[in-house]
A and B are shown apart, each in its own frame.
Chain A
Amino acid sequence: MVKSNKMNWKSILLIAGIISIASPLFAGGPWPQARGNGYFKLYQWWTVFDQHYTDTGELDPNVTTGVFNTSLYAEYGLTDRFTGILNAPLFSRNYMNNLISSTTGETLVEGEAINSIGDIDLGIKYGLTKPGSKFPVAATLILGIPSGQTAGGSQENLQTGDGEFNQFIRVDAGTSFKIGKQTNAYTSLYTGFNNRGNDFSEEVRFGLEAGAGLLNSKLWLIGRLDVVESLKNGATAATVNSTSIFANNTEFSSYSLEAAYYITPKIGVSASVAAAFRGEIIAAAPSYSVGVFLDLKK
């Protein structure tokens, strides 16, 4: 399948890729919220990078670029099988450093920044198996709303969103178990397909996740592996008038580690780090996240 070459320059950006690294951090697992239960998190996610994976997977330098999102994440059990999902970057900032001559000290290119709301994700998860199943399976549909800014700065290369409406459908399966007599643990895996608009290439995504609740389940340690493979069926830089260095067809394999600590039975804090260890056309730097959450099911 070859898509048309009508994608405009707004639809291409690294930001789409680097935010993708953060995306698997939420909406994962085959466990819908029970009706009336919910999980809400206010978190700060950011990455700053001065090199990137090129189209051949090698590392090249770039002007230091940062992306910062202050986001609200929410899951709410509409029924015992349907869970509504929201991830809203309420404040998103993208900046690039000044470029200074090391010889003269003169500013060659002025750094710039933009601030706006980011791309909002709306989703719904449906439990394909009965609540309480030993091996639950769930399907999730996430709609990526292009609410962010797609062109900012004098070069119009700063973005807080990718400008495309995407539909990501995924299936999760997993199981929970105990390690020893007291430690609750779980593991799950998923696969999904991301249908993207504006001549972005479609993506196949898959990954796995495992977590264990220590200290009587007050401290959860979670590890994830995620892979995004582009079908590379979208527009290429050669066919569009893009101002971006980073074209379509982002790919990566990444890991992430997260720790979540319940300060009270309902309120806790979390911190995570994620990084791509293989990539194409994506930032080569870790992303970080810290947040405060409210877990109504506890």
Chain B
Amino acid sequence: MKKKYLPLLLIALMYGCIGNDYLMDEVEPELRISASLDTIAINSSFQFEATYLNNVGQEETVPLNWESSQNGIINIDENGLATATNTGQSTISVTYESPEQVYADSVTVVVGETSVVIEDDRSGSINTTSSYVLTGDFTIEENGSGIVVTFANNYQASSSLPGLYLYLSNNPNSIANAHEVGMVDVYIGAHQYNISEVGINEYNYLLYYCKPFNVKVGHGEIE
């Protein structure tokens, strides 16, 4: 009898092998200029930088092509180093030609007496993508070499998720290559996160994720 029913038990045991779950994590690739320069001082230089995020939101080093629409006003070399030579304004463009598509970003810069870098605050709203409560507005501002994420009074998150973590990510569905801010310990009301060594334009999403079980709870696009 043992022989007869042993296969059933073995099948049940083997069913416990680790398999694969697949995460739909594709996003639209993008190329973006990191610094928001409004005005460059005449006869000075500014180093532009650009970041290419691939189809999973991961930063990737790619060959970039820098151009200035008005070379007599602002010259820019192949490494993104811009030099203002005359008053006026010029559009600085960066492009990356992948085998499938051309990605581009641009910024219009004025040549003036002093350089002005725009320090725009960013903001957005988080929303649940699950059955767990997650809602609220937030702002992000620079603070030295880091940023401060401030949630408004209307913030609320479910306390039924013991492993709820906050991430900064460039992919709204994945924490791969994301910056882990930490475990959530405030579930209602205004609060702040001070995050060091992160640029204000470095990430596009706040992502709430249940880390132990790899379940997304919700996200907010940083606008």
Contact = CB atoms under 8 A, between A and B. Distances in A.
B13 A238 contact: no
A281 B132 CA distance: 11
Interface residues of A, number: 59
Contacts of A70: 9, 13
A247 B162 contact: yes
B5 A237 contact: no
Given A66-B15, A237-B161, A243-B163, A103 B21 contact: no
Describe B's contact surface by its main secondary structure: loop
Contacts, number: 157
B61 interface: no
B15 A98 contact: no
Interface of B: 1, 5, 8-9, 12-13, 15-26, 55-56, 130-132, 158-164, 174-176, 183, 185, 187, 210-215
B22 A100 contact: yes
28 contacts: A46-B15, A54-B130, A55-B131, A68-B15, A95-B17, A100-B23, A101-B23, A101-B176, A102-B25, A103-B24, A104-B56, A108-B175, A155-B212, A157-B212, A157-B213, A236-B159, A237-B160, A237-B161, A237-B164, A238-B185, A240-B162, A243-B211, A244-B163, A245-B213, A247-B162, A263-B1, A267-B1, A290-B8
A127 to B, nearest CB: 32
B163 A245 contact: yes
Closest 6 CB pairs of A and B: A242-B162, A238-B159, A237-B162, A157-B212, A55-B160, A58-B131
Interface in A9-68: 9, 12, 44, 46, 48, 50, 54-56, 58-66, 68
A236 B159 CA distance: 7
A54 B132 CA distance: 7
Contact of A290 (B12, B19, B176): B12
A113 B183 CA distance: 24
Interface string A240-263: 111111110100000000000001
A12 B23 contact: no
A65 B213 CA distance: 9
Contact of B174 (A60, A61, A101): A101
Contact of B162 (A97, A101, A111, A245): A245
Contacts of B176: 101, 106, 108
Nearest to B183: A241
A287 to B, nearest CB: 11
B172 to A, nearest CB: 13
A97 B1 CA distance: 34
Contacts of B130: 54, 60
B15 A102 contact: no
A96 interface: yes
A112 interface: yes
Given A56-B132, A93-B13, A156-B212, 11 more contacts: A44-B12, A55-B132, A62-B213, A68-B12, A68-B15, A93-B16, A155-B163, A242-B162, A244-B212, A245-B161, A245-B210
Contact of B24 (A55, A98, A102, A157): A102
Contacts of A128: none
Contacts of B55: 103
Nearest to A115: B16
